A = this chain, B = another copy of it.
């Protein structure tokens, strides 16, 4: 039987609103909170902050803060996060295939 932790990553991370979009933007080099909020349509700063915190908690992204004025913070995918994103792409591809088969 399966590991309860898979369920957890899906429930707490990937299954949350904006998460996939968020990860994709980080992958594309959009690393700062301000930019991320502008990039992901409809996501408020509060929710963004919660999501980022959780992604760090699950080891999917890593946080780096630079004590400058104004303060700068950057988020990047961990190696685990990068591989996770590859898997998400597989689901993407799978859906594309399923759609093709269905629609001709």
Question: Is residue A47 within 8 Å, beta carbon to beta carbon, of the partner chain?
Answer: no
Asked if B95 contacts A5 (CB within 8 A), the reply is yes
Asked if B9 contacts A95 (CB within 8 A), the reply is yes
- A80–B7 Cα distance when bound, in Å, is 19
**Contact residue among B5, B10, B24, B95 (Cβ-Cβ distance under 8 Å from A15):** B10
Main secondary structure of the interface of A (DSSP, over half): helix
- A80–B98 Cα distance when bound, in Å, is 7
| Chain B residues within 8 Å of A14, by CB | 10, 14-15
Residues of A within 8 A of B (CB): 1-7, 9-11, 14-17, 19-21, 24, 59, 80, 83-84, 87-88, 90-92, 94-96, 98-99, 102
